[in-house]
Amino acid sequence: MQNLEELKQEALTAIRGAERMVDLRDVEVKYLGRRGLLTEVLRGLKDVPEKERKEKGMEANTLRELLELEIATRRSQLQDAEYPRQLEAEKIDITQPGRKYHTGSLHPLTLVQREVQDILGKMGFSTVRGPEVELEWYNFDSLNLPKYHPARDMQDTLWLDEKPVALKKRGENILSRLLMRTQVTSIQVRFMEKNNPPFAIVMPGNVFRREASDASHESQFSQMDGLAVGPDASLANLKWVMETVMKKLFGSGVKTRLRPSYFPFTEPSVELDMECLVCQGRGCSVCKKTGWIEVLPGGMVHPRVFEAAGYNPRENQGYAFDIGIDRIAMMKYGVPDIRLFRSQDLRFINQF
């Protein structure tokens, strides 16, 4: 059995020499832990002759109490010494400028889309959304695009390699292929099948086309279609809505022109162009050197579209229009290339 006097001097030296809390904890474990030196002495008392056991036991317990008191005293001393150091380490200079945290911002296309939605919302248009993976019937057939229309060609449409979906339309069972929608106009008939006029809706979303990219064309872009059906819907109403949207977006001085056009799902059809703000009408790659850029096609809803939705075209009339969000954003922010919007270049995105 280790000599208690030697053990005492050794433990006291170690306790008083501990400079950190972790060192003091190691000393405590070494002498008073479950397998500590003093603990082993207490366990070994059973092997001491009975005459000496009582005396040795009292000495060992007295030493244990002394060491516990010394450890507590040293712990208090270390804590007192640690507090000023902790205050110094955590000191805050209230005169120092704060750190600047960089927060994210909305994408320019999102900003324009929300602004257009707000403008049309104040005119009474509600927002409706539809699927990006669309059926051929809603994307083409219901919109009066015949089977031989070039838009259905593989070079223009992204067809999905999935089984056709069985539908029952106009009393006939048909199979409709799946595709990535080429226009949000596909939402029109979906909505009209479940809702009765009068109504005015806008349909924002992304569309996808298999086409070459250039400064003013992209294979993925954002559209926002508008549709109003009711007894007072007219081409004059459509012209007012188109011009009002443009004035709200670009100011009353914006230069626009309305010209006749053709779309399978409207008759008559028109197109609103605005002066190219990238070149101020002088001609550039964005406007194809014409000084004008197409931003707002539209027209009166074709009777065959009403028939596809189950409406009587003799009893209903309406107008539809499409806003090219990407092109509006190009004009609004002076962006010279439409491809920048989806370039994922933070140097461009962080400017907005």
Q: Residue 208's domain is classified under what CATH number? A: 3.30.930.10
Residue 322 lies in a domain: yes
Each residue of 42-69: pLDDT tens digit? Answer: 777 777 777 677 777 787 788 788 888 8
Distance CA 228, CA 267 (A): 15
pLDDT exceeds 60 at position 2: no
Contact (Cβ atoms closer than 8 angstroms) between residue 256 and residue 273: yes
336 with 228, same domain: the answer is yes
34 with 119, same domain: the answer is no
Q: Which residues pair with 220 in a beta bridge?
A: 208
pLDDT the model gives residue 294: 86
Residue 190 lies in a domain: no
Span 176-198, mean pLDDT? 94
Each residue of 113-141: pLDDT tens digit? Answer: 999 999 999 999 999 999 999 999 999 99
Please give the C-alpha separations between residue 13 and each of 8, 16, 70, 74, 84, in angstroms, as whole numbers: 9, 5, 10, 12, 26
Last residue of a domain, one of 57, 89, 121: 89
255 with 221, same domain: the answer is yes
Confidence bin at 194 (pLDDT 50/70/90)? very high
pLDDT the model gives residue 66: 84
More confident residue, 318 or 91: 318
Beta strands in 264-304 (DSSP E): 266-275, 292-301
Q: Which residues pair with 229 in a beta bridge?
A: 199, 318
Residue 244 makes CB contacts below 8 A (sequence gap 6+) with 119, 123
User: What one-character DSSP code corresponds to residue 125?
Assistant: P
Q: Which residue intervals of the chain are DSSP H helices?
A: 4-17, 21-32, 37-43, 50-89, 108-121, 136-139, 187-194, 235-250, 303-309, 325-333, 346-349
Last residue of a domain, one of 89, 119, 139: 89
73 with 201, same domain: the answer is no
Residue 180 lies in a domain: no
Using DSSP, state whether 249 is helix, strand or coil.
Answer: helix
Distance CA 25, CA 12 (A): 14
Contact (Cβ atoms closer than 8 angstroms) between residue 299 and residue 267: yes
Global confidence as pTM: 0.68
262 with 336, same domain: the answer is yes
13 with 125, same domain: the answer is no
Residue 167 lies in a domain: no
- Cβ of 233: how many Cβ atoms within 10 Å? 21
82 with 116, same domain: the answer is no
Distance CA 258, CA 239 (A): 8
Task: Dig out the tokens for 321 from the structure.
Answer: 């229009």
Span 102-112, mean pLDDT? 88
39 with 113, same domain: the answer is no
36 with 84, same domain: the answer is yes
Within a 13 Å sphere around the CA of 325, how many CA atoms are in the beta-carbon half?
28
Contact (Cβ atoms closer than 8 angstroms) between residue 2 and residue 41: yes
207 with 85, same domain: the answer is no
Residue 102 lies in a domain: no
293 with 216, same domain: the answer is yes
Residue 80 lies in a domain: yes
Residue 332 lies in a domain: yes
26 with 122, same domain: the answer is no
Last residue of a domain, one of 58, 89, 120: 89
pLDDT exceeds 80 at position 154: no
Domains in the chain: how many in total? Answer: 2
What distance, in Å, lies between the first and last C-alpha atoms of the chain? 80
Residue span of the structural domain in which 284 resides: 108-129+196-349
Per the prediction, the chain carries an average pLDDT of 87
pLDDT the model gives residue 337: 86
pLDDT the model gives residue 86: 80
Residue 173 lies in a domain: no
